[in-house]
């Protein structure tokens, strides 16, 4: 099997949209992996943040199907440490937003169990709705 990788970012519509929405320039990333080493949730991600950025830059298929950006809660640990000053949580949020626009909400609030709703602090639900629904 062969795959064409295009370094030409003009042709990479997803990358352009992510950069526009996040305000981050992903060409700056030199793949040091600090974000992945820092992330408290990297074990639950199906692709660590640095590789997600790499696949995005190469225009590889399947980025929007990943779980990684739904796992990120925006704790900003990676953003504080990134030597290239990339705010990775903004990249993650841009991917969530694009996925929601294309496929709809990830969280069906009307289907949450009553017991969950009874006990949750309101901030948990507000934050989850803001990150998982359009």
Partner 1 sequence: MQLAYYPGCTIKASARQHEQAALAILRALGVELREMAEWNCCGVVHTLTSANLIRHMAPVRVLARLRQQGAHEVVTLCDMCFNTLARANLLARQQPEQFAAISASTDSELRYDGDASVLHLLQVLRDRVGLAALRARVRRPLRELRVYPYYGCKLLRPSTVGIDDPEIPTLLRDLLEALGATVIEGHLQTRCCGAYQAVDQPELVAERVTATAAQARAGGAEAIVLSCPLCHFNFDTLQPRNGAPLPVFYYTQVIGLAFGLEPEELGLETRQIDQLPPLRQRDRAQAKGGAA
Partner 2 sequence: MSDGNGLITMQLMGKSYQVPSGLTIMAAIEYAGYKLVRGAGCRGGFCGACPTLYRRDGSHRIFTALACQTLVEDGMCLVQMPFVPLLTRPYDLHAIVPQPNTLLQHFPEIAGCVACNTCARSCPQGLPVMDYIQAALRGDIERAAMLSFDCIACGICSSRCPADIKHYAVGLLARRIYGKYLAPPAPDLARRVAEIAAGRYDAELDALISLPAAELRARYEQRSFEAVADGAEPYSATRRYNSPMDPVDYQDELAG
Query: Would you tell me which residues interact with partner 2 (CB under 8 A)?
Result: 109-110, 112, 114, 117-120, 122, 125-126, 128-130, 133
What the block records as the tokens of 127 is 């934050």
Q: Strand (E) positions, the chain? A: none
- Nearest-approach distance from CB 119 to partner 2, in angstroms: 7
CB of 46 to partner 2, least distance (A): 28
Q: Does 127 bind partner 1 (CB under 8 A)?
A: yes
Tokens 């660590």, residue located = 48
Site for partner 1 in 5-64 (CB under 8 A): 20-23, 40-41, 43-44
CA 134, CA 122: separation in Å to the nearest integer?
18
What is the C-alpha separation between 105 and 78, in angstroms, rounded? 26
Cα separation, 50 vs 29, whole angstroms: 8
Would residue 49 be called left, alpha or beta, if left means φ above 0 and alpha means ψ between -120 and 50 degrees?
alpha
Which member of 9, 34, 54, 132 binds partner 1 (CB under 8 A)?
Answer: 132
| Residue 79 binds partner 1, judged by CB under 8 A | yes
Site of interaction with partner 1 (CB under 8 A): 20-23, 40-41, 43-44, 71, 73-77, 79-80, 87, 89-90, 92-94, 97, 107, 112, 116, 119-128, 130-132
């Amino acid at each position: 099997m062969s795959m064409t990788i295009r370094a030409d970012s003009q042709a990479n519509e997803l990358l352009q949209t992510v950069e526009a929405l996040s305000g981050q320039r992903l060409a700056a990333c030199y793949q040091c992996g600090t974000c992945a080493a820092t992330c408290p949730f990297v074990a639950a991600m199906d692709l660590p943040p640095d590789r997600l950025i790499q696949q995005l830059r190469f225009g590889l298929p399947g980025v929007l199907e990943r779980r990684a950006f739904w796992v990120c809660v925006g704790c900003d640990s990676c953003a504080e440490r990134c030597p290239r000053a990339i705010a990775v949580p903004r990249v993650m949020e841009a991917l969530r937003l694009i996925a929601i626009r294309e496929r709809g909400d990830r969280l069906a609030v009307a289907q949450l169990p009553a017991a969950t709703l009874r006990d949750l602090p309101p901030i948990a639900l507000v934050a989850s709705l803001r990150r998982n629904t359009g």
